[in-house]
Amino acid sequence: MSLWSLLNTPVWGPGSVLLILVLLLRLSVQVWHKLYLWDLQCCSTDLTGKIAVVTGANSGIGKAVSQELARRGARVILACRSRVRGQRALAEIQAASKSNRLLLGEVDLSSMNSIRSFAQWLLQEYHEIHLLVNNAAVCGALQRAGSARVVNVSSFRQAHGYIDEEHLIGAGRPLTFNQNYDCSKLLLASFTGKLAQRLQGTGVTVNSVDPGVVYTKIMRHFSWPYHFLFWLLSFFFKVGSGGWGRALLLSALYSSSSPVSLQDSKQGAIPVLYLCLAKELDGISGKHFNSSCVITLPPEAARDCHVAQSLWNTSVRLTNLDKVD
């Protein structure tokens, strides 16, 4: 059979062409990852003797991050709001990491009382904390450690938020679910910069990172058509895409030009682990990293130092931190 007649067979329908395109896309994403992404396996950082706190550790990215930190010898405090879900995750992480240095801490980050009693318990138990991963949503033992890192898990969605201080007290322009998320991530970016500035010279660094788009339990908050689309895409593109593939796949979902990628929890944990482990980040503070572990500028609103100061003052007042030693 000649090549021409082979190409003319009905097997070359649109379905086959699509499949080949998908396979090519997946292959190029894999090559891109190999060439450009930070390689977790090549990082030799040992965390023996270090104390790490990961919020939202019972699911998704937080769970994957906790597992890797535990595997490297850290005592990891899984800060979870549900004892049942937390214990289940602890058993799974213990089995996977072969670590017996895991501890469950109960905290509901939507309640100031719960945050305070968790912080009190933490400070009683541990004099020093070397790593805090604010993965779920939102800490002083850090300074005593001499050198410590705070990692704020952000999102590329921060670019779509806006800052209205009234939102801190539940007032201001009403927000849809997505706007709530976008605005909270923008506030986190502003907070990251401000906290980094305040902690200058203390040995504690603060940075934020976008894990990329990851198929985790977080997707349950989206409507079912989005949910289905994410599920479908993650099936094909689990290895993630940081280049042109992301735009192709997600522009329809997010109409965003920011670097995003669709991946599984372990892939989403890599940028977060980069900020936790990479030696070259010693002393780097107040920066935002995209899902390819590259420093990028946070949105303009988050870089406004007057806005950041005002948000800081209001937060301190609302949380009564000004009355705490």
Ligand X SMILES: NC(=O)c1ccc[n+]([C@@H]2O[C@H](COP(=O)([O-])OP(=O)(O)OC[C@H]3O[C@@H](n4cnc5c(N)ncnc54)[C@H](OP(=O)(O)O)[C@@H]3O)[C@@H](O)[C@H]2O)c1
Catalytic residues: 181
Spell 54-73 as b/e; 16+ CB within 10 A means b.
bbbbbbbbbbbbbbbbbebb
CB of 49 to ligand X, least distance (A): 26
Q: What share of the chain is helix, strand, coil (3-state, %, to 5)?
A: 55, 10, 35
Cα–Cα distance for residue pair 103/86, rounded to 1 Å:
9
Residue 95: count of CB within 10 angstroms of its CB: 10
Please give the single-letter amino acid code of residue 295.
I
| 273: contact with ligand X by CB under 6 A | no
| 106: contact with ligand X by CB under 6 A | no
Q: Is 324 exposed, middle or buried (0-12, 13-18, 19+ CB in 10 A)?
A: exposed
Site map (CB under 6 A) of ligand X, residues 114-133, x = contact:
--------------------
Among 190, 205, 216, 258, binds ligand X (CB under 6 A): 216
| 258: contact with ligand X by CB under 6 A | no
Among 161, 193, 211, 240, binds ligand X (CB under 6 A): 211
Nearer Cβ to ligand X, position 60 or 299? Answer: 60
Q: Which residue is nearest to ligand X (CB)?
A: 60
Cα–Cα distance for residue pair 180/171, rounded to 1 Å:
12
Tokens of 182: 């976008």
CB of 57 to ligand X, least distance (A): 6
Among 52, 60, 74, 234, binds ligand X (CB under 6 A): 60
Which residues of this chain interact with ligand X, rule CB under 6 A? 55-56, 58-62, 81-82, 85, 107-110, 135-137, 153, 155, 210-211, 213-214, 216-218
